[in-house]
Structure 1
């Protein structure tokens, strides 16, 4: 079933207005430092262009909201989403500049739903008061790289990835059919939850993938906590996941002599010397990492399998992963908040504004990719592809530390070459604005006899 926001808009419009009114002075204030804002429209009073931004599109193409505005205003334009003044960018030069400014003039940020569901508001006051945003980002990134970076992946994780892929695919071959997105999500969760906090999903018998998926769906929803809305369901799933992590933290603090050598152990050890690493910070970070790894990898892998189903010979090319992630553009955007006024090409982006760098505007740009909606893995063999990759390809936000997200699908597809499969049903895609597979994508998997 496609996600259609009409019910939520009807139920929550008055609540949304109330939220926006309470923030009116802060959200709509144009700072007195002067300067010309990028072109664009702030939409209707209070609600801005929120409704059109969330309208689903049953296509992998650039969403109508973005296509319409880039045609009219160019690749950098202003808008207002969920009561927040924002600049949306499909400009590769501007995006590269912003990503390099992480922790300097911008910080990682989310729309209101993101902030509430992933706990960004639990750290904002600390970061602003102590002016250590860049240090926090650097420290957390280094910890994650230590556990999931290229060296760790090569030396420690590959055997686990191999065992997981073989076990999963062999199990799939015994079933009548599998729902690729759902079953890939379970496979990814079984691995990443063990690496993050030694959670044995099979032993506990508790399937948390549904809760993670519901939390993910709420990240780009209207932040209205009314029964029946996506955001309300996401909050319930958030509470469940937070409780699981909080219990694990409590048990480990009570038994300091027991070490599991996972990411959570590392963060708890760093609590002794890093004041920003509070229990709340670590709890929300662990949930955020679960959501990011599960949804990014499972959606990208599902898209890869779908595209290969339509072009079977591409399974032999591991570069197919780059092409499928380009077409998928899984995340609707990379979001940052300005810490000070930013000047760019005669424009000003005021302090405290939101910046949304949209990946579809880059990945599906016909100036960078010929026939951009066509699945063509061989395009990644072109001589000038590295220049294109540097400017128009940011599947994971353009930051390091995403070896797991990219290499796990590659490894899985390597083992998929030992199997063949056929489509059973489904496979229709849409952007809601996140990439979604309507009624699922079901395939029958069989092992190739040697």
Structure 2
């Protein structure tokens, strides 16, 4: 008797869930599409997801899985192989393109397209970072720094730093008599290389602290920008604050002891500190 009463209740509950949330999705899509007003061309297929969060949860779930392309594959399965879809990610209505021709058009057409990043990436990178500035300012900063960090002299420095980290780390891993998580170890190794290339000679304790902070910061780039304790973005902001202080302290120390530290290995930061603008400053 109890089972006979339970099944109709579960069915009604499931139907209510589907109808309610399906209705919310429709309302959400109507809201964003109606804001566009009269359109010259129809929008591509797709959906705007849930109110406020859009399709971010399904995107992050795919991104963190063993098959990150599953998000795109799901769009193709649901809406057909059109190579262009509407969606809602990182707090903004978005259009996804996923074929080489369209991607090339977006990335090379500066007249109709400009750089844009999730607000979480902008806040964590900083308003003055290369992905935080636009047009002429972006080109000016890129011109100032690109030669100093990409030239033959710089690349020769980086090779030494990479060898100093990679060779001992791989030798240490090879001597372990227990299984290791390859991806985790290689990611940790990559972060050490980045820090070493950036700073050159640096104390091991500082290097380890920076790697730890960057490990906490990176997941925040692909997260909802919710600055509340317990959320990924909040932890990333705290890690960024620590990183900024450590980097600032390192820059101040190198400026104060430039002559004393002349013999140590240089890194990208040393090359950047030597860059001069058009006025020789």
Could you state the TM-score of these two structures normalised by the residue count of structure 2? Answer: 0.69
Q: What is the correspondence of 1:23-422 to structure 2 with a 5 Å cutoff? A: 29-30=35-36, 34-56=40-62, 58-60=65-67, 62-63=69-70, 65-71=71-77, 72-73=79-80, 74-101=82-109, 105-119=112-126, 121-122=127-128, 127-128=133-134, 131-146=136-151, 153=155, 155-177=156-178, 178-202=180-204, 204=206, 206-255=208-257, 257=259, 261-270=266-275, 272-273=277-278
CA distance in 2, matches of 1:116, 1:194: 25
Q: CA deviation at 1:86?
A: 1.2
Structure 2: gaps (5+ residues): 1-30
> Max radius of gyration: which structure?
2
State how many pairs are aligned.
244
2:151 is paired with a residue whose SS is helix
Q: CA deviation at 1:35?
A: 4.2
Q: CA deviation at 1:244?
A: 0.9
Post-superposition Cα deviations, 1:276-324, rounded to whole Å, max 9, x if no partner, equal x9xxxxxxxxxxxxxxxxxxxxxxxxxxxxxxxxxxxxxxxxxxxxxxx
Could you state the TM-score of these two structures normalised by the residue count of structure 1? Answer: 0.46
Structure 1: gaps (5+ residues): 1-24, 278-450
Asked whether the 8 Å contact 2:56–2:89 carries over to 1, the reply is: yes
Asked whether the 8 Å contact 2:86–2:93 carries over to 1, the reply is: yes
CA distance in 1, matches of 2:54, 2:88: 5
Q: CA deviation at 1:142?
A: 3.9
1:223 is paired with a residue whose SS is coil
Q: Greater relative contact order: 1 or 2 (C-alpha under 8 angstroms, separation 6 or more)?
A: 1
CA distance in 1, matches of 2:139, 2:38: 27
Asked whether the 8 Å contact 2:115–2:131 carries over to 1, the reply is: no
Indicate the structure with greater strand content: 1
CA distance in 2, matches of 1:244, 1:152: 23
CA distance in 2, matches of 1:174, 1:126: 44
Aligned-residue RMSD, C-alpha: 3.8
